[in-house]
Amino acid sequence: MPRAASIRVDVKPALLRWARERARLREETLLRQFPKLREWEAGTTKPTLRQVEAFADATASPLGYLFLPEPPEDALPIPDFRTLDDQPIRRPSANLLDTIFDMQRRQAWLREDRIEAGHEPLPFIGSVTADAAPARIAAAMRRTVGAVAGWADLHGTWTDALSWLRNRAEMIGIIVVINGVVGNNTRRKLDPEEFRGFVLPDDYAPFVFLNGSDGKAAQMFTLAHELAHLWINQAGVFNLRDMQPAPDSRERFCNAVAAEFLIPEEELRRVWSDISGAPRRFALLARRFKVSELVAARRALDARLISRDAFFRFYNAYQEEDRRRAARQSTGGNFYATQNYRVGRPFAEAVGRAAKEGRLLYRDAFELTGLRGATFERYLAIIEGAPQ
């Protein structure tokens, strides 16, 4: 009698293709682990149960989904403002979906925890509408987070400026998560071409997620963009391809607010008179305001300080250099320090308190943070002993 693991099972080829495409894995990559994949997808041979289990794991697909009569319709649980060649992106990857679901679970728990602790609703969530003046809202956002005029220029690096703004956002009740992988799984990298970030507004526990695989300067714009979404109480995921927002009035509003938040037009015009003839003028702006050179150039275009032809000449050259920069970008670092970004220190502290007080089972705390056993305890000990 054959072992169960060696029995051939009936999996529709369309389901295998769905799982591969959803995982955004190249066929050649999977062929190294599953040499008969093309035959399975053609329907000429069938995989064994063990092979289907391994395939589900490799593509981050729920095993049961592979036995459905037809591929399920993957839909984002929040508005999708991503674009590709001016058309909406139809199918989100498993990595994006799992990341959003994970943040939603965290948000649901933190919302309940903060309400039980007697927290008041955050007054800035949904405090404006998308027909307000972007400059006025950007000024209100700067006041709320305490970003004084020239704040970015006070920091020596993009990383320092981003950390400062993230900390200020967390001080007013926003959880900011920055991660370039799904949880702590370094095999499941998040693609900034698919999405740069997303936002989950809430009166008590708003979450902002930044794709950590993106550059630090690009993350700065994403954070400002998602903060604007909180002010209008609008969830969404975006990618901002070619520096163009989706054809949606709310996205255009949030883009305008983010640009004004980071590079106030009045300050830009004062600086421009001194650097307009400099060969690296956008680099000078980027260094001063701690944004990417591309954002600086786009801001100059929007302020009509440069022509569209000048912008797109710079844009095309910048994209090529950006690809080389991304290839050189360093990864890694101290695991526990990284958790301040991947989990969010205020969230980890709340989960740790609840677990120690017996209000939350430790197994649930492990699931919420993605940290287990001694790793969870070690991280809590580090942040409890570290200065705020």
- Per-residue pLDDT reduced to its tens digit, 139-167: 999 999 999 988 998 998 888 999 999 99
Mean pLDDT of 366-371: 94
Q: Do residues 92 and 48 share a domain?
A: no
Asked, for residue 204, whether it belongs to a domain, the answer is yes
Domain that holds residue 144: 83-328
Nearest to 334 by CA among 368, 379, 295, 304: 379
Asked, for residue 78, whether it belongs to a domain, the answer is no
Q: Do residues 29 and 113 share a domain?
A: no
CA neighbours closer than 13 Å in the CB half-sphere of residue 87: 4
Please list the helix, strand and coil fractions of the chain in percent, rounded to the nearest 5, in that order: 55, 10, 35
The Cα 200–Cα 176 span in angstroms is 11
265's tokens: 């037009």
Query: Which H helix or E strand runs over 380?
Result: helix 373-385
Question: What is the model's pLDDT at position 277?
Answer: 85
State the pLDDT confidence band at 1, using cuts at 50, 70 and 90: very low
State the pLDDT confidence band at 240, using cuts at 50, 70 and 90: confident
Asked, for residue 71, whether it belongs to a domain, the answer is no
Q: Would you say 243 and 315 are in contact if contact means Cβ atoms under 8 Å apart? A: yes
Q: Do residues 143 and 274 share a domain?
A: yes
The Cα 101–Cα 110 span in angstroms is 14
The Cα 11–Cα 44 span in angstroms is 12
Q: Do residues 262 and 310 share a domain?
A: yes
- Whole-number CA gyration radius for the chain: 23
Strand order in the sheet with 236-238: 175-179, 207-211, 197-200, 236-238
Q: Do residues 112 and 19 share a domain?
A: no
- Comparing 4-8, 85-89, 94-98, the range with the smallest average pLDDT is 85-89
Domain termination site, one of 66, 92, 118: 66
> Is the pLDDT reported for residue 320 higher than 80?
no
Q: Do residues 167 and 298 share a domain?
A: yes
CB atoms within 10 A of CB 283: 14
384's tokens: 């409890």
CA neighbours closer than 13 Å in the CB half-sphere of residue 334: 5
Q: Do residues 93 and 167 share a domain?
A: yes
What residue has token string 């728990």? 109
Entry pTM? 0.86
State the pLDDT confidence band at 236, using cuts at 50, 70 and 90: very high
- Mean pLDDT (the chain, rounded): 88
Q: Do residues 189 and 125 share a domain?
A: yes
What is the secondary structure of 204-237 as a DSSP string?
Answer: S--EEEEETTS-HHHHHHHHHHHHHHHHTT--EE
Amino acid at 200: L
CB atoms within 10 A of CB 170: 18
Residues 270-298 have pLDDT tens digits of: 999 889 888 899 999 999 999 888 889 98
Better-scored residue on pLDDT, 120 or 387: 120
Q: Do residues 217 and 312 share a domain?
A: yes
The Cα 114–Cα 121 span in angstroms is 9
Number of domains in the chain: 3
Asked, for residue 107, whether it belongs to a domain, the answer is yes
> Is the pLDDT reported for residue 367 higher than 80?
yes
List all residues 6 or more positions away from 56 whose beta carbon is below 8 Å from its beta carbon. 19, 62, 63, 65, 66
Q: Do residues 142 and 272 share a domain?
A: yes
| CB-count burial class (<10 Å; 0-12, 13-18, 19+) for 53 | middle
Intra-chain end-to-end CA distance of the chain, in Å: 63
Amino acid at 263: I
Most confident of 229-233, 306-310, 340-344, 379-383: 229-233
Q: Do residues 304 and 184 share a domain?
A: yes
Q: Would you say 135 and 262 are in contact if contact means Cβ atoms under 8 Å apart? A: no
Q: Do residues 240 and 107 share a domain?
A: yes
